[in-house]
Structure 1
């Protein structure tokens, strides 16, 4: 049994194992579409390895199985790229990429029927795969934030895989002029395909696990009803903001908001309307602050806000605008539903011994200011002393 045969059967086993691992990840990690796409890609790639193995063991079948092999190369490459775009929330482009893959297959197979040296056609699969890997890299690279370690690992492996495929193309084309380069191609393939293939699968599974961990962190820190931070998430994010503000000498203010007479809304209209009211108020709070500020739901109808680079007076003005926006109300079954809210605002005194102490003291003062808003008639904003 030749080295190429051993590698082919090993790749077949590895591709099936990776396909199974991706399928388990898809079933266990919330059924993300990209995990299913990658699982199918590995299943189809095992077909390519199987065709290659049959062609090596039974040379008489090569004209048939090696034509099928190209099909099992271009289709998985499309699924890998489409899966990466699905993960990024981008259009998968599955249909146009599939059409392109089909055209590549038809054109290559048609040219292969012509007489003459067709070694250039052998590089078509590697060239197409390299193009799809470049598209995959573009989709994996995050936008608007730094890549996490799993994404960096995936990007690095994909870059190496792309370089490997381009080297295969270059050596195959070079063999048209120098037959000795065919030996180089064989050596490059034998040495590189196994580690690159396995590393790509491991990096993909690691990326899926990292995505799941990020989703769990988001669920642990966010309120499922309104989508803003929950009490724990707000507290942790606020501590980081206060610590950073003390280092950079930034003005930071906090506010606590409470929906007036929320219990009566639930009692009169039911919890469905109450939930919509919470969503409405939360939407106005989020809309009324800047991107770097924090909004969290810290109680049933109570919200906390942290405003960075804002004095207490500036924060009070912002809360007053939000309060007026909330007071406009919203439409419930075609009828306006009046909603009012009360606010308490306080600045964070950055001279405390710790961010925990500074935040707790500011929240306590804002809570007392909120209490004054309520006893003075509600639907108002009060600045702490």
Structure 2
């Protein structure tokens, strides 16, 4: 499982949380080897290493989950209690030789840490994906198995009494759960990669808005929803006036800054739920939901006025202008292309009338 996660890190984007999980299972290798050595050699030192490695492994797993969830990671919040537990393990095993304390302290702490990890995995603003559900389920099972170990340790009263239950849980349950947790973690990494690839297929890498394909997919849903609920929908096609001259005179870096700045201005101008996409070159498309043509034109007029005041690196001030063509959804429109045709005509009209203006399809 350590090798599988290392391969996932190397080939699935080198994400930080995957490296942390790889380290977690690498420490887990040390834990199982030390546990075997402690059992066969009856070595207290090896059992101390076993307990410490388990605490470190679980802490790294929890840290990796918080990293993936983009939650704040306070290393001291993990390191301080882990150090206290490790000291307690050393005292319980090294000084008192008390296996009951050993069997209770470690699983209790790890079980609670895994419950915290499962809670950190839960997304805040969306539903869980199937790989996340599997990972969540294994984390809960992992935690319950650890807590069951802690409970079973309380039945150890002599050299042999109660140890069979503890060892059965440890030898039968834990390896399966270790493997299941790691496999589900790899599936989460693969699922993240698939989601990243889907996002890259639908988004323009320069401006980070939808590309033509993503815009068409979003438009089909928006058109269907507008028809279903009988609500207005408007398409705006716009571009930067004189963009070719800007590229020729000031370089492509200036052109890229202009495109990114214009895209951000469009995103800030529309409401949540409206759609912004780059159709190609310096041409952008916007779908404004619950907006007729005049309402969409009013929004674009505000954008038009703000374009001239954009301050961007490598772009001379007061050189940017934009033209806009607006078309409302008509009953006979079947696809986005039907709206694009009219919005393009309106944009051509705006260019023909002197650029730097908003034109509505079909308007005088």
Deviation (angstroms), 1:317: 1.2
Task: Find 2:8's aligned residue among 7, 10, 25.
Answer: 25
Give the drift of 1:247.
Answer: 2.4
Determine if contact 1:345/1:384 at 8 Å carries over to the other structure. Answer: yes
Listed as ranges, the gaps of 5+ residues in structure 1 are 1-17
Describe the shift of the 1:350–1:47 C-alpha distance in structure 2 as closer, same or farther (beyond 3 A): farther
Distance (whole Å) between structure 2 residues aligned to residue 343 and residue 176 of structure 1: 82
Residues 257, 314 of structure 2: 8 Å contact kept: no
Distance 2:238 2:133 in 1: 41
**More divergent stretch after superposition (220-229 vs 128-137):** 128-137
Secondary structure of 1:254's aligned partner: strand
Residue 339 of structure 2 corresponds to residue 358 of structure 1: no
Against the structure 1 CA distance between its residues 184 and 250, is the aligned structure 2 distance closer, same or farther, given a 3 Å change threshold? farther
Partner SS, residue 206 of structure 2: coil
Shift of 1:65: 0.4
Matches within 5 A, 1:61-80: 62-80=43-61
1:1-385 aligned at under 5 Å gives the runs: 18-59=1-42, 62-115=43-96, 117-175=98-156, 181-332=162-313, 336-350=317-331, 352=333, 357-385=334-362
User: Larger deviation: 100-109 or 272-281?
Assistant: 100-109
Q: What is the DSSP-based 3-state SS (H/G/I as helix, E as strand, rest coil) of the residue aligned with 1:129?
A: helix
Structure-1 separation of matches of 2:174 and 2:234: 57
Q: Deviations over 1:24-45 (max 9, x none)?
A: 1101011111111111111111
1:173 Cα deviation from its structure 2 partner? 2.8
How far apart in 2 are the matches of 1:318 and 1:271? Answer: 29
How many angstroms apart in 2 are the aligned matches of 1:184 and 1:57?
19
Alpha-carbon distance between aligned partners in 2 of 1:348 and 1:167, rounded to the nearest angstrom? 62
Contact persistence 2:100–2:153 (CA under 8 A)? yes
Mean Cα deviation higher: 148-157 or 205-214? 148-157
Report the alpha carbon displacement of residue 292 of structure 1 after superposing the two structures with TM.
Answer: 1.1
- Residues 70-118 of structure 1 show CA distances to partners (whole Å, capped at 9, x for unaligned) of 1110111111011111112223333431232122101332244554855
User: How far off is 1:153 after superposition?
Assistant: 1.4
Asked if structure 2 preserves the Cα contact closer than 8 Å seen for 1:79 and 1:94, the reply is no
Q: CA deviation at 1:69?
A: 0.7
1:286 & 1:129 partners in 2: Cα distance? 45
Q: Deviations over 1:136-170 (max 9, x none)?
A: 21222112111111111111121221122122222
SS in 2 for 1:169: helix
Consecutive aligned runs of 4 or more in structure 1 exceeding 6 Å deviation = none
**Residues 175/309 of structure 1: CA separation in 2 closer, same or farther (3 Å cut):** farther
Structure 1 residue 182 displacement after superposition: 3.8
The worse-fitting range, judged by mean Cα deviation, of 82-91 and 182-191 is 182-191
Relative to structure 1, the CA distance from residue 334 to residue 376 in structure 2 (aligned partners, 3 Å threshold; closer, same or farther) is closer
Q: State the shift of 1:250 in Å.
A: 2.8
Q: Match of 1:69, SS?
A: helix
**RMSD of aligned residue pairs (Cα, Å):** 2.0
Query: CA–CA distance in 1 between the matches of 2:220 and 2:106?
Result: 53
Mark the CA change 1:115 to 1:192 in structure 2 (over 3 Å): closer, same or farther.
closer
- In the TM superposition, residue 188 of structure 1 has moved relative to its aligned partner by 2.6
Structure 1 Cα separation of the partners of residues 193 and 67 of structure 2: 15
